Amino acid sequence: MADFLEFGELMIDDALARKESCGCHFNTAFQTEDNEALRDDENFCHVAAWEYAGEGRPPIFHKEPLIFENVVLTQRSYK
């Protein structure tokens, strides 16, 4: 059970670090005038990985940029 709680805390830390809305990860602080998810591909187009740093220590954040060669990232609209 402790593993699930630690994983849940890590997911919350990751969500709070993301200053955008992305797909179903909607944050009301980051939305368009039409209430759609507001992406920030310049700062958040990456794969995130968190490394366990030991008991009582914050996890270490690692990121690897995503590079799209055949598609163009665009703002979604569900209207």
Whole-model pTM: value is: 0.67
- pLDDT higher than threshold 80 for residue 74: yes
Please state whether 59 falls in left (phi above 0), alpha (psi between -120 and 50) or beta.
Answer: beta
Per-residue confidence (pLDDT) for residue 63, from 0 to 100? 94
- Residue range 32-70, pLDDT digits in tens: 888 888 889 889 899 989 998 988 899 999 999 999 999
